[in-house]
Amino acid sequence: MDGKLGKFIDDFAALVNLAQSASHKPQAGTQLVEALTGHLGVAAGELSVVVEQIPPHRFVDADIVMAGLVEKDPAGRLVGIGGGGQRHHQSLSDMVQESQLYPQFPLAKPDFANLAVGPDSHRQAVALGLWLFSFDGKPLAVLQRDSSPQSGRPQATLEVLAADRDAATGFLAEFRRRMDGNSVLKGQVISLVMNEYGPSAAGVTFHHRPSLPASDVILPAGLLQKVADHTVGIATHRASLRDHGQHLKRGILLYGKPGTGKTHTVRHLLSQSAGSTAILLSGGSLARISDAARMARALQPSIVVMEDCDLIAEDRSFGHGPQPLLFEVLDAMDGLDNDADVAFVLTTNRPDMLERALAQRPGRVDLAVEVPLPGRAERIRLLELYARHVGFSRAALAAAAERTEGTTASLARELVRRAVVAAALEGAAVSDAHLAAAVEDLMADAESLTRSLLGSGGEPAGT
């Protein structure tokens, strides 16, 4: 036999042996099924998946709870699932079934999402990862994944696979118990946001708690204290009220013209409510009032602030029936237990728009307070507040206050700003003359629109 032919036959035989050897190695796409089957001790394709849905705003809480439960098992581990974009569109059950036919979901590194847990802090939460661990001595597999509205999943989920169905039930019961008892949202100031996929798919934004002393809120004597006592003060006596069978749930309506200080008052209330969860809603996010009410109950003591409620007095765009969204807001307020330590603070520039709804839903708001235009004494105090770094004389401030009857705090702030700007443009020190000129300018007939935009009346005093 020719030597070259013999060498070719030997090499070909070796190649065949190599191919046969490779054919017995597990394919990468079957790793998911093999990992699940090996961990659970039962063929993964024969087991049912139990799904637990999680609102997007609680996903960070779920990630913290999951990490705490898994760390109790020294052998617990986290793996990822590969397979490209298809893995985002299929359930764990689908992936297991398809992997038995078409090897396309190999094990990979987990996906993470950087999510806020406070105004200045974040956590890398598992956005798509498979936990393999034991709970109460029984093996579990839990696929954790974040919401993905663009993939048709508005809610985050846990998909639980277990050989023992009771083990899955017990695990989820413990998971819910921990979720109910702990949240990164508790004690925070947050706003609920909307997105293009609707209220159910939206999350939260964290805010720093305001720091606003009572001295910076200029209202008629006793008015701020009245509001604070009803909103924040009641919470300090919750034990006594409960002992005497009195309800803690309360609602307050702040109404008045734009620029009179309603939002400023709310900021002061928030600054005085350290330890309480504050949930802020405005505009379109008022559609999330049901979410806010559930969160307020779970995270009490809580304050729910609903700004400019008149804007949704007749709005049905986010409703689920023929009634305006405002009625749904009031129904959500009524849905809480009386002993829930939750305060609802509503603000409006148009109380007439709310009157019908409030009359048809009595008891939701138990205190209505008008925040009026500042009187002369308040206008002097406002000018003193905004000019505390400027050396205006007392007489100049009094003259400016006298001349600006019928205006708001916003105009007082603008007066001081204009005086400082005018002095800067001249290259001179700020003087009483600059303040007087600013008053003359803003109170002129030609500035009626500007005054209106600042929340003050369009007509100058004396007309």
Phi, psi of 115 (to 5 degrees): -120, 145
Q: What is the pLDDT of residues 14-71, one digit of tens each?
A: 665 555 554 444 455 578 999 999 999 999 989 999 999 998 889 999 999 999 999 9
Which one has a higher pLDDT value, 257 or 9? 257
Q: What is the pLDDT of residue 293?
A: 85
Q: Mean per-residue pLDDT for 106-125?
A: 94
Phi, psi of 172 (to 5 degrees): -65, -35
Distance CA 248, CA 258 (A): 30
To which H or E segment does residue 385 belong? helix 376-386
Share of the chain above pLDDT 70, in %: 81
The CA distances from residue 66 to 37, 79, 108, 172, 424, in Å, are: 21, 14, 20, 10, 59
Residue 354 — pLDDT band, cuts 50, 70, 90? confident
Q: What is the pLDDT of residues 363-421, one digit of tens each?
A: 678 888 999 999 999 999 999 999 999 989 999 999 999 999 988 888 899 999 999 99
To which H or E segment does residue 324 belong? none
> For residues 99 and 33, is the Cβ–Cβ distance under 8 A?
yes
Domains in the chain, CATH or no CATH each: 28-181 (no CATH), 189-370 (3.40.50.300), 376-453 (1.10.8.60)
Q: What is the pLDDT of residue 462?
A: 45
Query: Which of 228, 214, 206, 184 has its CA nearest to residue 369?
Result: 228
Residue 129 — pLDDT band, cuts 50, 70, 90? very high
Residue 101: other Cβ atoms inside 10 A: 7
The CA distances from residue 183 to 60, 65, 308, in Å, are: 8, 9, 29
**C-alpha 96: how far from its chain's center?**
35
Q: Are strands 277-282 and 302-307 parallel, antiparallel or unpaired?
A: parallel
Query: Which of 25, 31, 62 has its CA nearest to residue 44?
Result: 31
Q: What is the pLDDT of residues 160-184, one digit of tens each?
A: 999 998 999 999 999 999 998 889 9
Q: Mean per-residue pLDDT for 349-354?
A: 83
Q: Are strands 367-370 and 342-348 parallel, antiparallel or unpaired?
A: unpaired
Query: Which of 381, 310, 318, 379 has its CA nearest to residue 346?
Result: 310
Q: What is the pLDDT of residue 422?
A: 95
pTM for this predicted structure: 0.80
Question: Rounded mean pLDDT of the chain?
Answer: 84
Q: What is the CA radius of gyration of the chain?
A: 32
